[in-house]
Structure 1
Amino acid sequence: MDIRDATTSDIESIRAVAEAAWRADYPDTLSADTIESGVAHWYGDPVVEMELSNPGTELLVALRDGEIVGFVHGHRAGETGTILRLHVDPAHREAGVETALFDAIEEAFTADGADTLRATVLEANDHVTELYRSRGFEQVDTERTTIDSNQYAEAVYERPA
């Protein structure tokens, strides 16, 4: 498996991974229409292109046999690195892709001087929540995020870097 910085040529694959992950992780929380609309908005070309050009943004992709099977997106502000999204195609979750992506973004943030790590995830995502908890994160807050004009609870986790 390889992990590298994402490029604009990866956007379609990032969107496909996000859609597959959302369908697997939120079948009882998000409708098919909400998933389609949310993925199109959050991972649309203009949004991802903007993120790729933002200072402090990390957008890494994981590849297996040349195919993008996961990604992690985060931002560093001051001494805090925040993991905003971590998604892996469900067909590749048992292969250590999530752990590798987590390790890569943690390394990028700490190499850049972050002393605190935060992570956000929809509360309904037990899968990623368990990953964060297994890495020593504790929930410190709950925020609201909008997907397709609906509000959803998003857990905020934190731990020292």
Structure 2
Amino acid sequence: MPTTSAAPAFKIPESVLVVVHTAALNVLLIRRADTAADYWQSVTGSKDHIDEPFAQTAAREVLEETGIDAADAACTLHDWAIENVYDIYPRWRHRYAPGVTRNREHVFGLCVPEGVAVRLNPREHTQFAWLPWRAAADRCFSPSNAEACLLLPRFAAEVCA
């Protein structure tokens, strides 16, 4: 019997947060399409299957949400080796299996060249903005995302030359 690669019925409570940034520490933020609230964030997304490596999830989500190819030679994907565990916002809990209330988020940075083209998936995001890292942190609706933006100078120096 053939195997399928169909997406799970519920989201896996393991996800990535990818801070897309330039060497000058400008951060790409994207505005969520699924809420009327002014929710700005970095690239986020859940694993497609439980065995999917976090780096693969990060590259896939960046491509799906922004059109940026993390595998491009001009880009550098960096695992920050930070994990956050947080309560899933009640408005999105229905996407997870009954009883699942917490998510484990793995943080990455993606250094991209200045002027890289951004192509949003309109089902997921309606706008994008490049902001200096502190201003990006102030605009993020998620506390873990804001904290990641504030950590950017520490991690960017290692990968953006």
TM-score by length of 1: 0.26
Identify the structure with the greater helix proportion.
1
Identify the structure with the greater strand proportion.
1
**Relative CO higher for 1 or 2, CA cutoff 8 Å, sep ≥ 6?**
2
TM-score by length of 2: 0.26
